Structure 1
Amino acid sequence: MENVVLIIHLLLALALIGVVLLQRSEGGGLGMGGGGGAISGRAAATALGKMTWLLAAAFICTSITLTIIAAKNSAGSSVLDRITDAPVQQEADPALPDTGDSLLPPSADENAPLVPTAE
């Protein structure tokens, strides 16, 4: 059921984009110019305008339906409820030398030269 509603939702989104792009521009970008539609009491409703409202209402209905379906399918607990208080214990890798709990690099041998010499 969720897949059917999701496919309808995606088709509505594409149709809504197409209908909006087909509409005639009013020319009043950022409130400049145009004038006719904004001054008159009500603009004439065109077929594309009615189709836009219909598709937008159907898009919102499918969005709400998908939200309800997702809420029903979700687990009853939060992700935070699944986290335990005890940290995960990691086993030591036998290939690595045991350095203890120190995060510092191992100390250099006092007699070893700092710069390797070519011999």
Structure 2
Amino acid sequence: MITLILTIHIILACCIICAVLLQKSEGGGLGIGGSGGSGGGFMTARGTANFMTKLTAFLGACFFLTSILLALLSTSNNSSSIVKEVEKSIEKNEPLKPSVPLGN
């Protein structure tokens, strides 16, 4: 289950990176670009920008959801953590009774 969600999480991360890089920036960096146009149609500059904004928001929400799911599943996992392993090794190395000098 964790492997499936982790795979989806990684794919979402790559999609978010692509969606952000495809958006038109104020400086015109790597954006989709295109010359101006009037109206708010789907494939005009404004329509594409609205679609990319909504797509990025949707991908971000899915990424946030998978992050929460992974955190919840990792805490409910019964595998021992590093802290528990260190505590076990300390308990093994501690003497059961305090050593008291017997020769006095």
Verify same fold: TM over 0.5: yes
Cα separation, 1, equivalents of 2:78 and 2:87: 14
Report the counterpart of residue 41 of structure 1 in structure 2: none
Letter in 1 for 2:65: C
**What is the aligned partner in structure 1 of residue 42 from structure 2?**
none
* Partner of residue 35, structure 2: none
Q: Supply the distance in 2 between the matched residues of 1:64 and 1:56 (Cα, whole angstroms).
A: 12
The 2-side partners of 1:55 and 1:74 are apart by 30
1:53 aligns with 2:51: no
Matches of 2:18 and 2:89, distance apart in 1 = 46
Displacement of 1:54 in angstroms is: 0.4
- The within-5 A match list for 1:18-97 is 18-27=18-27, 46-75=50-79, 78-79=83-84, 80-84=86-90, 86=93
User: CA deviation digits over 1:56-96, x for unaligned, max 9?
Assistant: 00000000000111101144674342232527xxxxxxxxx
Q: 1:7 to 1:76 in 2, by over 3 A?
A: closer
Question: What is the count of residue pairs matched by the alignment?
Answer: 71
Backbone CA RMSD of aligned residues? 2.3
For 1:76 and 1:17, the matched residues in 2 are separated by: 34
Other-structure match for 2:14: 14
TM-score (norm 1): 0.52
**How far, CA to CA, are the matches of 1:74 and 1:25 in structure 2?**
46
Higher relative contact order, structure no. (Cα contacts within 8 Å, ≥ 6 residues apart): 1
Determine what percentage of the aligned residue pairs are the same residue. 37
Q: Max radius of gyration: which structure?
A: 1
Q: Secondary structure of the residue that 2:75 maps to in structure 1?
A: helix
Q: Could you tell me how far apart the structure 2 residues matched to 1:53 and 1:2 are?
A: 24
